[in-house]
Structure 1
Amino acid sequence: MTTEATATDLQAFTETWLDWYRVQETRLADPHGFLAITGQHWLDDRPQRFPDAPGAWHTGPEGVVVTLDEGEELVVDGAPVHGEHRFGVLPERSEIHAVWGDAVIEVAKRGGNDIVRPRHPDAPLRTAFTGTPAYAPDPRWAVTGRYVPFDEPRPTTVGAAVEGLEHVYDAPGRVEFELDGRQLSLTAFPGRGAGSLFLLFTDATSGATTYAANRSLALDPPAADGTVVLDFNRAANLPCAYTDMATCPLPPAENRLPVAIEAGHKIPVERGGS
């Protein structure tokens, strides 16, 4: 391959990575994204009012309920609601977004607990956001691996950014790959799209140049022969890297890699990164 061709390929690789990076930043800085969260309120059977949301909130066997005072209003699924509104029993890892003026009130279930997380566009963390530090993209960190499905999905319990909270995922298989001459593997979880995969990991950079608790990597569905590409340049921070008001899962013990992956997102400025 000529030097000119190599330079052209690197430019195309970098531009594709920049497209990915901009999407991540846009999602993070959305007016109702994770940086806009002003409170993480845990519900129980006692009605509670919060300074950043309307109504009194509680939960029980029939799910989340809010009781709005006269003059208070939420918009749920496009319809205004007043008085008592029942959100019902939420499935694990699901959420409902109710609109309150220019804010969104997220009602969610995480680790078996119902929570309310108001999201306000003028939240200080969001308005002060200047971007996420990241390593320069390098093709050496895009490696081809092999997806090995388990005979049956394995229920896998992992910790969370919130002490005492646990998440349970059905791991469909693992991804095997080679990096720096070492044979490695990562337990994979289901991704957002059909057949896609989601990896949680730490490595030797964690706590030094990258966020200590976790990073994530989304993978496209494997090919018919199990081939899959792990582009660690797209190793992304989860919301807990920026805010304490997140319940992000931690990697399972076997996903703590013994190599330094100097690619992807670095420690956010919000956590002392530069």
Structure 2
Amino acid sequence: MGKRTGGGLLLALLLAGCGGSPAETGPAVMEDPAFETAQQQWRMQRYTELTAADGWTALVGLHWLEHKAHYIGHGPGNGIRLAVGPDKLGMVRRQGDGWTFTPEHGVAASIEGAALTGPVAFRGDHDAAPTRITFDDGKGQLSLIQRGGRAALRVKHADAASRLGFTGLEYWPGGSAWQVHARFLPHPPGRTLPIVDITGLTTAMPNAGAVEFEHGGQHYRIEAIAEPGAPLFLIFADRTSGHGSYPAGRYLDTAAPTADGHVMVDFNHAYNPPCAFTPFATCPLAPPENRLDLRVEAGERAYHPPKENAP
């Protein structure tokens, strides 16, 4: 590969220090320096977001709310026992169509730096401004997610073993040949696609259209998750799924299609769903329509956590 500079060198050091190096994923291929720089920057951003103090590797719990009220905390006697945090953190209560959170007296909890002293509305991830409750001097984070007709508490902590013990990302050889110029075929307005997540829940997701492309002389198609005119979210599985790539498939984001129906699909940016790193995520899975008879040897390879952190 070409010379590494700036952020690319830092990325190489990070990967080498965490058990993965680009040199391990395939033979060297000469690429345009601008292409290499862009890929290195994307990988660096991906690594940074994934391992942030509130990134996916910081997840330590997922607790479904089955009753109207739940006392939560790390200690015994709570309806929901957290893996981290104070013995008694507070109470989550159903109020009409929503939820509230009341902190335990004397516990230091806050929202956006403002200390909590009484009940507050606990808005979920489907709301315009979701609530993020922090504790343990800001290391812990409590949020509410809504899946179908159910709600759950999602708990993150900066000292999560899955974050502190993160072993790094490995990549398929990839290359500019995997930057595919695809054609976007719009669907009629309002069309949805049933997507099953890892918990077994099926959700009708907006399906604005599909992307079609050629690779190796063969024709392929991926149904896109998106509202009309918006950037596309692609969930796909391929012949490497379970054979070097995460078994349930990978994700890929693209820009919104151009006015004349073109979209760049860069398989070098295919990435693992959060479930590859933690058992506490609710990941949508690739639908049957998006299972490609193709080995996509680009993007992230399967993640191999330390044995003590493995789900």
Same fold (TM over 0.5): yes
Partner of 2:111: 76
1:156 and 2:193 correspond: yes
Distance 2:168 2:304 in 1: 8
Higher fraction of strand: 1
How far off is 1:185 after superposition? 0.7
For the residues of structure 2 that align with 1:203 and 1:96, how far apart are their CA atoms?
A: 37
- Is 2:173 the counterpart of 1:173? no
Please say if 1:144 is aligned against 2:170: no
- Does the CA contact (< 8 Å) of 1:58 and 1:66 recur in 2? yes
User: Structure 2 length normalisation: TM-score?
Assistant: 0.78
Alignment of 1:44-59 (within 5 A): 44=66, 45-49=68-72, 50-51=81-82, 52=84, 54-59=89-94
**Aligned residue-pair number:** 265
SS of the residue corresponding to residue 270 of structure 1 reads coil
Cα shift at 1:271: 8.3
* TM superposition outliers: structure 1 runs of 4+ over 3 Å: 58-61, 92-95
Following TM superposition, by how much is the alpha carbon of 1:136 offset from its aligned partner in structure 2, in angstroms?
2.7
Structure 1 residues 99-120: Cα deviation after superposition (integer angstroms, max 9, x where no partner):
2122221222233321111211
Q: Which moved more, 1:197-206 or 1:178-187?
A: 178-187
Match for residue 215 of structure 1 among 250, 260, 275: 250
Instruction: Give per-residue Cα distances to partners, 1:179-234, cap 9 Å, x unaligned.
Output: 1211111111128xx72111000000000110011201111121221111111011
Cα deviation for residue 9 of structure 1 reads 5.2
| Structure 2 Cα separation of the partners of residues 202 and 178 of structure 1 | 17
State which of 249, 266, 269 in structure 2 corresponds to 1:231.
266
Counterpart CA distance in 1 for 2:280 and 2:43 is 23
Gapped regions of structure 1 (runs ≥ 5): 1-6
CA deviations on 1:27-51 (whole Å, 9 max, x unpaired) are 0000111111111111132423233
The AA in structure 2 aligned to 1:180 is: G
> Any residues of structure 2 matched to 1:27-176 within 5 Å, and which?
27-44=49-66, 45-49=68-72, 50-51=81-82, 52=84, 54-59=89-94, 61-88=96-123, 91=126, 95-100=130-135, 101-102=137-138, 103-162=140-199, 164-176=200-212
Correspondence 1:15 to 2:51? no
Q: CA RMSD in A?
A: 2.5
Distance 1:244 1:207 in 2: 17
Task: Report the CA distance shift for 1:185/1:241 in structure 2 as closer, same or farther (over 3 A).
Answer: same
Cα 1:94–1:147 shift into 2, 3 Å = farther
- 2:223 equivalent to 1:187: yes
2:276 touches 2:302 (CA, 8 Å); kept in 1? yes
Q: 2:10: which partner in 1?
A: none
* 1:24–1:97 Cα change, 3 Å: same
Report if the CA contact (8 A) 1:93-1:108 is conserved.
no
Contact 1:95 1:109 in 2 (8 A): no
Q: C-alpha deviations, 1:14-63, integer Å up to 9, x for none?
A: 22111101111100000111111111111132423233352122435331
In structure 2, distance between residues paired with 1:85 and 1:71 = 16
SS at match of 1:83: coil
- Asked whether the 8 Å contact 2:224–2:234 carries over to 1, the reply is yes
Q: Which residue of 1 aligns with 2:236?
A: 201
* Closer/same/farther in 2, CA of residues 271 and 95 from structure 1, 3 Å limit: farther
Q: Which position in structure 1 is the counterpart of 2:21?
A: none
> Which 5+ residue runs of structure 2 have no aligned equivalent?
1-28, 73-80
Q: TM-score, normalised by structure 1?
A: 0.88
